[in-house]
Amino acid sequence: MNSPLSHADVDRRLHRLIGACVLKLDARPELLQNAARQIAKWSNPRLQAEWTELLRLPWPALRRLLLEESADGDRRRQSAPFGGLLTNEERFRILRS
């Protein structure tokens, strides 16, 4: 039986997943439009407002915040609107590593 993941394990896993999303967005920044559409559907107004502001940043600034090694970076990655950006294969490969 696998032991449950610690918060630190989850944060590291999310960092790797968002890191893969960042690489994809580096190559295709137009994919950020998908994130904007995704947050428009959210029911949490605080997260909607935060991510609406974040998505207005120039890509280099947003990129830094997404990869930031801090409690705020961990918190942002937990709510990042990049679902569907990675293929199942990409996601499973990262989760298995």
**Tokens 């990869």 map to which residue?**
67
User: Is 60 within the bounds of a domain?
Assistant: yes
Q: How many domains does the chain have?
A: 1
pLDDT digits (tens, 9 = 90+) for 2-19: 668 788 888 999 999 999
**Looking at the domain assignment, is residue 67 inside a domain?**
yes
Q: For residue 1, is it within any domain?
A: no
> 54 lies in a domain?
yes
Do the domain assignments include residue 2? no
Structure token digits, residue 70: 């801090």
pTM: 0.89
Predicted pLDDT of residue 3: 67
pLDDT in tens, 17-74: 999 999 999 999 999 999 999 999 999 999 999 999 999 999 999 999 999 999 999 9
DSSP state of 51: H
Which pair of structure tokens corresponds to residue 33?
Answer: 């439009």
Distance, CA of 82 to CA of 85 (rounded, Å): 6
- Give the domain extent around 60: 7-96
